[in-house]
Amino acid sequence: MKILFRNKDINSIKADVQIVFLEKKPSIKKLVGENDLETLEESGFFKDATDTFYVSSSKKLYLKLKEFEAEEIKVAAAKACSALKNFNFKSAKIEGYSDVELFCRAFAEGAILGSYSFDWYKSEKKESQLKSIHIASLLGRKSGVSEKSINEALEAASLVAENVNFVRDIVNSAPDDATPMQVASIAEKIAKDGGFECKVYDEKFLKSEEMGAFLSVARASAHPPRLVHMSYKPKGGKQPTKKIALIGKGLTYDSGGLSLKPSDYMVTMKADKAGACAVIGIMKSISKLNLNVEVHGVLGLCENMIGGNAYKPDDILRAKNKKTIEIRNTDAEGRLVLADVLCYIQDYFKKAGQQFDYIIDMATLTGACVVALGEYTSGVFGHNEKLKKMILSAAEDAGDLMAPLPFNKHLRKLIKSEVADISNCSSSRYGGAITAAMFLDEFIYDENKQKWAHLDIAGPAYVEKAWDYNPHGASGAPVRTIVEFIKKCEGK
Ligand code: BES
Ligand code: ZN
Ligand code: ZN
């Protein structure tokens, strides 16, 4: 579906249906013809009875808009698109008003994200007939905005939203259709299309790099692990304004391993690869947006399974930085994979004699984070307050929900081990998101502490109930936030 801006009066545009957003204001009468007003009043539309109402005589679909604000516009656009799925209209139009650029960006994002549905495995597919929506606004000479800048903003918003949907598709794929090798191939394809580099490493490499933690988690799976390193650099040898590393947890399935998950908790664990998939979507976005930054996307892809050769509680693993880890619970596997991948990228820069500015990992790391913040919000950790603020403000602008969570020196003792340098599982049932983040902190070198942020996306990555413009299943978080973050720091 295409969202297009038209610098025209809405009445001069032909479309099968008109979408009308109504703010609860006296101006309603101006927007709604007398006849429609009567129909809407009779239907109880204004008394919150329904969200959308279609008047067939005027071919108008009415929606309520609480206020002129980006998130509200996105939700209304999504509702309009899902209502229009039940009709056979091919084109629609809507009047763009107030801040037209903001309206276009938000409308496009909401419409594209709200039109998403995952039907790969359905025999009968219900395809929407709607192919285009025209946003009409006749720009006066004094409006202060140009058609060009509106079109650019609209295209960028559409591109990122399409990429969020692309990430949703990978996360929603069944675990046997998105194995480590298959996800690595997707990353390779995206890199090829985007004209940037992508290296895929197998177990031999992991062994040679002494990634004992990552390898142990992967051991019992029929699908071998992969470490993917994508690197995007500004085209034409331009000097990047920032160098950023993004790390994604890519557990293509998390059964819990020998500390097996109860069956109800195992369902949805195909989504334990959401961090890695988000990194692919971010790389895809920044390469298409041609941002003047250097970004390294590193994915730790494997499956946490059971079997005679599975790693086990009581094992002692040795991570890439030589730290030893006592395994007390094989279900706390994400932090083990991340430990080695975090060391890998820090060593990579060290060996190249290069500095980087930020290192951000994203991971469906703990159920405890979902308990702390609820299903819709990601937790943000880090030692650098300024960096955390930048991420939180990007999230606010992009529309992802995020909240800061603190480290706590008193919880450090909970991951102490009597037999190894550290334990992979807290000795307390409380504060699990924090102790997991503090475990990762053990693998961030002193010189990089201020550059690091950790996002626990266990809640919003996958929700089994549609909400706002998010469908049942994968949400594609935190792609929009990190793209926004990179855009913001590109200019600084
Ligand atoms: N992948 C899970 C975390 C998770 C839970 C993600 C719910 C999404 C929704 C992670 O590997 C895990 O199992 N963590 C354990 C850690 C515990 C054993 C210390 C958890 O959160 O229970
Ligand atoms: Zn687990
Ligand atoms: Zn996991």
Which residues sit with Cβ closer than 5 angstroms to ligand 2, an ion? Answer: 254, 331, 333
Low-confidence stretches of the chain (pLDDT < 50) are none
Domain that holds residue 420: 161-490
Rounded distance between C-alpha atoms, residue 372 and residue 375, angstroms? 9
Q: Which atom of ligand 1 is nearest to the CA of 259?
A: 18
72 CA to centre of ligand 2 in angstroms: 35
What's the domain count of the chain? 2
Look at ligand 1, atom 8, and give the residue with the nearest C-alpha.
458
Q: Which atom of ligand 1 is nearest to the CA of 249?
A: 1
382 lines ligand 1 (CB under 6 A): no
Choosing from 331, 434, 440, 456 the residue with most ligand 1 atoms within 8 A of its CB, the one to mutate for a pocket test is 331
- Indicate if 136 and 165 belong to the same structural domain: no
pLDDT by residue (tens digit) across 398-451?
Answer: 999 999 999 999 999 999 999 999 999 999 999 999 999 999 999 999 999 999
Q: Is residue 208 part of a domain?
A: yes
Catalytic residue among 6, 59, 199, 261: 261
- Indicate if 88 and 198 belong to the same structural domain: no
Catalytic, 335? Answer: yes
What's the CATH number where 57 sits?
3.40.220.10
- Indicate if 313 and 194 belong to the same structural domain: yes
Phi-psi region at 101: left, alpha or beta (left = phi > 0; alpha = psi -120 to 50): alpha
364 lines ligand 1 (CB under 6 A): yes
**pTM of the shown model:** 0.98
Q: Is residue 155 part of a domain?
A: no
Neighbours of 90 (CB within 10 A): 13
Rounded distance between C-alpha atoms, residue 139 and residue 368, angstroms? 50
**Residue where a domain stops, chosen among 114, 142, 170:** 142
Determine whether 30 is exposed, middle or buried from the number of CB atoms within 10 Å of its CB (0-12, 13-18, 19+).
exposed
336 lines ligand 1 (CB under 6 A): no
- Indicate if 377 and 456 belong to the same structural domain: yes
Position 30 scores a pLDDT of 63
Q: Is residue 153 part of a domain?
A: no
Q: Which atom of ligand 1 is nearest to the CA of 261?
A: 13
Catalytic, 273? Answer: no
Position 51 scores a pLDDT of 83
What is the Cα Rg of the chain in Å?
24
Q: Is residue 275 part of a domain?
A: yes
Position 29 scores a pLDDT of 61
pLDDT by residue (tens digit) across 90-107?
Answer: 999 999 988 999 999 999
- Indicate if 11 and 65 belong to the same structural domain: yes
What's the CATH number where 318 sits?
3.40.630.10
Asked if residue 291 lies in contact with residue 486, where contact means CB atoms within 8 angstroms, the answer is: yes
Which residues sit with Cβ closer than 5 angstroms to ligand 3, an ion? Answer: 251, 254, 272, 334
Look at ligand 1, atom 3, and give the residue with the nearest C-alpha.
366
333 lines ligand 1 (CB under 6 A): yes
